[in-house]
Amino acid sequence: MLTAVTHYTIWVTDQDEALAFYVGKLGLEVHSDVQLDFMRWVTVSVPGEPRPQIILAPLAPPVVDPENAERARDLLSKGILGNFILSTPDCRATYERLRAAGVEFSQEPVEQPYGIDCAARDPFGNEIRFAEQGPGWPA
């Protein structure tokens, strides 16, 4: 029996730059930063919430084969390889705080049937949505 989603992978081209963005700008916390024999394993999570963790996976060998790495980086830069949603109790305040921290948004806060959300991209192209739960939020 499966019980939970514990990790979600997003692709990055520079793990240090990813940490500067996800921890320094968004305010997530480092959960793991371990040098394995074959790669660096880096995960972040919402402060005080160890699960799920976001894996900041390097879009490079050995994780991605050299023949496909360049094509994958091109898709990543176009925002095709990943997205996720972070929940917030106040989307507009989160938007203002993150914008002041230098996060570039592709969509300002908008009222939706499920609440209020906005969208940004990380330095690599991944879309991040910030959502405030409303009465139509999926159960």
Q: Determine, yes or no, domain membership for 93.
A: yes
Give how far the C-alpha of residue 30 lies from the chain's centroid of Cα atoms, to the nearest Å.
13
Domain CATH for 79: 3.10.180.10
Number of domains making up the chain: 1
Distance CA 95, CA 73 (A): 27
CA distances from 95 to 19, 81, 118, 137 (A): 20, 23, 7, 19
Share of the chain above pLDDT 90, in %: 72
Mean pLDDT score across all residues of the chain = 93
Residue 1: inside a domain: no
Evaluate whether residue 138 is within a structural domain: no
121 within some domain: yes
Integer Cα distance of 90 and 99 in angstroms: 14
Task: Report the pLDDT value the prediction gives residue 137, as an integer from 0 to 100.
Answer: 77
Check if the beta carbon of residue 124 is closer than 8 Å to that of residue 11. yes
In-domain check, residue 67: yes
Q: Is residue 86 part of a domain?
A: yes
Question: Is 2 inside a domain boundary?
Answer: no
Range of the domain at 74: 7-133
Q: What is the pTM assigned to this prediction?
A: 0.91
Render pLDDT for 49-106 as a digit per residue (tens, 0 to 9): 989 999 999 988 888 888 888 888 898 888 888 889 999 999 999 999 999 999 999 9
Output the pLDDT for position 28: 97
**CA–CA dist 99, 128 (Å, integer):** 13
pLDDT confidence of residue 118: 98
